[in-house]
Amino acid sequence: MARLVCVLGTRPEAVKMAPVVHALRRRSWAEVLVLSTGQHRRLLDEVLPWLHLVPDADLALMQPGAGLAEQLGRMVQELDHLFRLWQPDAVLVQGDTTTAWAAAQASFYQQIALGHIEAGLRTGTLAQPFPEEFHRRAVALVARWHFAPTPQSRANLLAEGVPPQRIFLTGNTVIDALQRFVPDQLPDLLGLSRTTPLVLITLHRREQLQQRVVQVAQAARKLLARCPQAVVAWVEHPHPGIAERLNEALPAHPRLFRLPSLEYPVFLGLLARCRVVWTDSGGVQEEAAALRRPCLVLRDRTERTEGLQSGAAQLAGCDPETLLALTDPLLEAPLPGQAGRGVPCPYGDGRAAERIADVLEAELVTGRPKPLREGVEA
């Protein structure tokens, strides 16, 4: 039996790793251990029961005010200790977080085979987003299996010299999670009329965050003034300083809802209900596409170019006039169809986790190539 350790530390990692954990646990050959770093304590804890995940170990490394270097150092040390104790045959990491990069380093130092889920995303600029673009490029240097979610991400890896036999086109596991864990009836937090044009906002990227909060707040204020039917829901990330800047830049308004970080199903309910989402989140770009909701990306570049190519997303930056110009036609357009039902999504078809499990079985159990499910490239 092969022992695999799945490492996670943030809510998006848990959402995207959960389908892989469950797919592997359905295989008789796999012993799967889940390891949490606790990088995002509260947001992670609230989503784990919903995903039916119980970590086999929780390092609880989150410390208020800790910098990136301090977090990374503690993670590498603790992960190295547990990997020595558990002696896994393979380690799986997801995405581009500090947790993923720390686990990749610890795996490399002990020469444990590493699988990178959601490999190959690139903006082409090392500091955008910061530090995630560096993390995902660095993980690619030490990964044995690169699970690319889209043809574009596969092409990015090939351009960097990753051997094609180490890249596997799988789709993005967030689509698996949406199909498996999201109920048909999502929570309706605000209870608005179906015809009310709701604009949903999330903002958390580190790059020039304080300045961008002010710009987006100005856009929201102007939107409320010029569109008397519109409602704005701003889901605030628990990043220090966001609330203070919003207090200054976005006064209270009867059609403005400033919301704390929400439980994941509640957030998805808002996303499925909105006319348009303004966000700098990579995961929300994918979720919006899956739920058929237009997305304006509050950045100058995105690593999820498939959304731009399909028309599901547009780059908007944070200039208020640009945001409003792109938003107006979306508010006037006919209501989107039923969210996420039978609509092709550029990020996958909901079978990514099974494809990943197939690849690992072919290499860890049989030790030789074997026929894989449709969509996987060996």
The CATH topology of domain 198-332 is: Rossmann fold (3.40.50)
- C-beta atoms surrounding 341 within 10 Å: 9
Reading the chain (378 residues) residue by residue, the pLDDT tens digits are 999 999 999 999 999 999 999 999 999 999 999 999 988 788 889 899 999 999 999 998 877 777 889 988 999 999 999 999 999 999 999 999 999 999 999 999 999 999 999 999 999 999 888 999 999 999 999 999 999 999 999 999 999 999 999 999 999 999 999 999 887 778 889 989 888 999 999 998 776 777 889 999 999 999 999 999 999 999 987 776 777 888 888 999 999 999 998 999 999 999 999 999 999 999 999 999 999 999 999 999 999 999 999 999 999 999 999 999 999 999 987 766 544 443 468 999 999 999 999 999 999 997 754 444 444 443
CA 18 to CA 78: how far, in whole Å? 22
Closest CA to 97 of 115, 77, 71: 71
Query: What are the tokens at 296?
Result: 């304006």
> What's the pLDDT score for residue 368?
54
> What's the pLDDT score for residue 62?
78
- DSSP code string of 176-228: HHHHHH--SS---SS---TTS-EEEEEE--STTHHHHHHHHHHHHHHHHHH-T
Query: Alpha carbon 141 to chain centroid distance?
Result: 21
> What's the pLDDT score for residue 342?
37
Instruction: Return the CATH number of 2-171+351-366, one of 3.40.50.2000, 3.90.1310.10, 3.20.20.70, 3.40.50.300.
Output: 3.40.50.2000
Q: Which three-class secondary structure state does DSSP give residue 323? A: helix
Q: Which distant-in-sequence residues (6+ apart) come within 8 Å of 141 by Cβ? A: none
Query: What are the tokens at 97?
Result: 């977080």
> What's the pLDDT score for residue 377?
41
CA 240 to CA 242: how far, in whole Å? 6
> What's the pLDDT score for residue 7?
98
76: phi > 0 → left, psi -120 to 50 → alpha, else beta; which?
alpha
88 preceded by a cis bond (ω within 30 of 0)? no
For 250, counting Cβ atoms within 10 Å of its Cβ (0-12 exposed, 13-18 middle, 19+ buried), the class is buried
> What are the domain boundaries of the chain?
2-171+351-366, 198-332
> What's the pLDDT score for residue 357?
98
Phi, psi of 274 (to 5 degrees): -80, 160
Query: Alpha carbon 287 to chain centroid distance?
Result: 9
Active-site positions? 96, 118, 132, 204, 206, 237
> What's the pLDDT score for residue 99?
96
User: Are 2-171+351-366 and 198-332 the same fold in CATH?
Assistant: yes
Closest CA to 104 of 44, 42, 146, 64: 146
